[in-house]
């Protein structure tokens, strides 16, 4: 849940600070833009730490029923997603730190345009595709083991398809991933509460 909230807030701050297209230019002298970017980038490491805990909680539910093949893909794609998010955030942080130091307007424009292009490629092309693979492997394990409801696995497949193919249409579609994480986290909390209540009653 912490990852979902922090990641969503960071995404909104970043998306509202930077134009969606490379043709549009951001005003790096605007203190409001740099403040939103700085806050969003500061939240990303903590969102990443929370995502590692989320992966651990989800994997722990499989116990001995864990499928080693899909589990390897699950862990690998999750870590790659997180690494690419960090790389994209680091590039954005480098732009924020270096842009005010460049006096020449043309040089600043070239630097920020290239940095944004790399950042968008890493986050929207590679990171989100890894998130899609992460969801496909997890949904498959849920179907095979029955650890989570079947309907959740179907929804997970649908979200994966959106991340793999639809995110190129709008950057805001990215928010579907933290929304999915939030829903899964709430469901796990409800299941754990019911199990504890059942043990007490028995």
pLDDT, mean of each 10-residue run, the chain (202 residues): 89 76 58 80 91 90 78 91 91 81 76 81 86 93 88 93 75 84 90 72 54
Long-range contacts of 14-17 (CB under 8 A, 24+ apart): 14/40, 14/41, 14/92, 15/171, 15/172
Q: What's the residue count for the chain?
A: 202
Only one residue has tokens 């991933």, namely: 177
Distance CA 144, CA 44 (A): 33
What sign does the CA torsion over 43, 48, 53, 54 have?
positive
pLDDT of the residue at 198: 65
Distance CA 157, CA 83 (A): 23
pLDDT of the residue at 181: 92
Distance CA 177, CA 179 (A): 5
pLDDT of the residue at 119: 83
Three-state SS for 104? coil
pLDDT of the residue at 140: 92
* pTM for this predicted structure: 0.83
Three-state SS for 89? helix
Delimit the domains of the chain by residue range. 2-201
Smallest CA-to-CA distance from 84 within 36, 156, 139, 133 is with 133
Name the H helices within the chain: 2-17, 31-60, 68-98, 105-120, 128-145, 150-161, 176-201
Only one residue has tokens 């998130």, namely: 131
pLDDT of the residue at 53: 92
Determine contact, residues 144/46, Cβ cutoff 8 Å. Answer: no
Determine contact, residues 48/10, Cβ cutoff 8 Å. Answer: no
């Amino acid at each position: 849940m912490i990852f979902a909230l922090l990641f969503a807030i960071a995404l909104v701050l970043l998306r509202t600070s930077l134009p969606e297209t490379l043709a549009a230019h951001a005003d790096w002298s605007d203190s409001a833009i740099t403040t939103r970017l700085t806050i969003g980038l500061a939240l990303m490491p903590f969102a990443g730490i929370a995502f590692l805990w989320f992966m651990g909680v989800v994997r722990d539910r499989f116990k001995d029923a864990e499928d080693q093949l899909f589990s390897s893909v699950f862990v690998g794609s999750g870590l790659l997603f997180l690494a690419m998010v960090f790389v994209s955030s680091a590039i954005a942080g480098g732009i924020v730190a270096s842009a005010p130091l460049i006096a020449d307007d043309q040089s600043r424009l070239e630097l920020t345009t290239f940095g944004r292009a790399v950042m968008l490629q890493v986050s929207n092309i590679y990171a989100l595709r890894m998130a899609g693979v992460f969801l496909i492997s997890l949904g498959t394990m849920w179907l095979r083991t029955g650890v989570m409801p079947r309907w959740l696995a179907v929804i997970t497949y649908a979200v994966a398809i959106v991340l793999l193919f639809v995110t190129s249409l709008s950057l805001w579609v990215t928010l579907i991933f933290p929304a999915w994480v939030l829903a899964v986290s709430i469901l796990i909390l409800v299941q754990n509460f019911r199990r504890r209540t059942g043990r007490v009653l028995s």
